[in-house]
Amino acid sequence: MTETTKEQKRAVGGQERRLLPVVARVVGWLIISLYVVSDLANYLLTYSVVPWSNVSLLDHVEGLIGDLGFAAFALVGALLVTRRPSNPIGWIMASIGLMVAVFNSGNAYAIYIMATHSRPGALAVFGAWAGNWYWFVMLSLALIYLPMLFPDGRLLSRRWLPVAIIGGIGALGVALLGALADTLVVGGAPRFKIDNPIGIEGLAAPWNLPVFVVFEIIFAVGVGGAAASVIVRLRRSRDVERRQLKWFAYVTALFFGSAMLTGVASDVSGVGWLGNVSFVTSMTGLVCLPIAVGIAVLKYRLYDIDIIINRTLVYGSLTLMLLLVYFGGVTTTQALFRTLTGQQQQPQLAVVVSTLAIAALFSPLRRRIQSFIDRRFFRSKYDARKTLESFSARLRDETDLGALDAELVSVVRDTMQPEHVSLWLLPGTSMNGAREE
């Protein structure tokens, strides 16, 4: 290869590197603008068919939280596209937010046309058709490819490529069956049916077909493989990458784990409001997840995650214990009062006693839980604090720098774990602490 050809390639590569940030900024602003316009169109079209007053307050709250969640995906995705255009994480997140906004607005347009004209045009049919199948494509991006490629945009190794392919096949299979259904159903109340111009005759309910279940199982295998990939990556990671994964794992475990627990509790106990709590919790996680991903990829205040996890464990355990004390105290006090007096009407004494018990237990219980959490889950920091306390106590009594030299270096290595440690003394200062003349 001649020198001229090499110079030409370097020049082309340099132009591409200079052009990429400019294109990324333009695309980022287009993502935000498209999401805002699509989401606004969705609201206007939806509430032109279903009046605002006919929707319950809980549905309004759930819809608002859901919109905030997907808006967070679009906004953080646009930010990552502009700041890290070579990392596919930003493109995936922006795609998730845009797919929901654009396709939901198309579906709302189809509902509006059916409610006002009863005969859909080509655009309404396309909106209903896209809204009939895009969900599993969006879910594959959110549940398979986002966790598998986080945080650097690359798979853990080539051995994980079949997992990514299998999950994609399952998602595309389900989406294809939805796209080929002979009837497109849009709306909840009212509900409309639109003939699919590319649908297969007789394929009215593809979710009842055995092949649909097979594709769902394949998709579930992909989701499980993505979760396993995150766990393996977390176990192998060190330093910065480990903290990036902690941000992702923390939000996923806290919000979506809580949503699953409350959902199961609602199904088992039959308490309806627990189901609402489960949905609101999952939607809150939908808002917090893109924020955590943005912090991790941009490496902004990564070290705060250890403090957040520590406080969550401490105050979560403390809240649970105090609730048990409160309800246990109320129940026990009421039972004793009923036994001693025989009255069914219970006084406020039980509530007062339980409240006082909580006030008395709060501080000592918090200290004990904090100590246990530090020893069990943050052992290195706990040992570092103990080391510093011991060294501080000795420092007050020792004035010989020669005696403290080796111990000071050892303490710094044990607590801060730097790569190199050096001890500098003021010029003219002897090792016994006296200043030389």
242 pLDDT above the threshold of 90: no
pLDDT confidence tier of residue 141, bands split at 50, 70 and 90: very high
Residues 385-413, mean pLDDT to the nearest whole number: 61
8 pLDDT above the threshold of 50: no
311 pLDDT above the threshold of 80: yes
437 pLDDT above the threshold of 50: no
In what helix (H) or strand (E) does residue 295 lie, and over which residues does it extend?
A: helix 272-298
Domain ranges of the chain: 135-236, 317-377, 395-437
pLDDT confidence tier of residue 166, bands split at 50, 70 and 90: very high
DSSP string spanning 172-241? HHHHHHHHT-SEEEE-SSS-EEEE-TTPPTT-S-GGGSHHHHHHHHHHHHHHHHHHHHHHHHHHH--HHH
- 374 vs 145, higher pLDDT: 145
pTM score > 0.85 for this model? no
| Per-residue pLDDT at 435 | 45
Least confident residue range of 3-12, 148-157, 394-403, 406-415: 3-12
User: What does pLDDT average to over the chain?
Assistant: 78
12 pLDDT above the threshold of 50: no
89 pLDDT above the threshold of 90: yes
Residues 158-178, mean pLDDT to the nearest whole number: 91
| Per-residue pLDDT at 63 | 77
- 184 vs 375, higher pLDDT: 184
What burial letters (b/e) apply to 152-178, b meaning 16+ CB within 10 Å?
eeebbeeebeebbebbbbbbbbbbebb
pLDDT in tens, 118-139: 778 888 888 888 888 888 889 8
Least confident residue range of 111-115, 239-243, 260-264, 291-295: 260-264
Contact between 310 and 379 (Cβ < 8 Å)? no
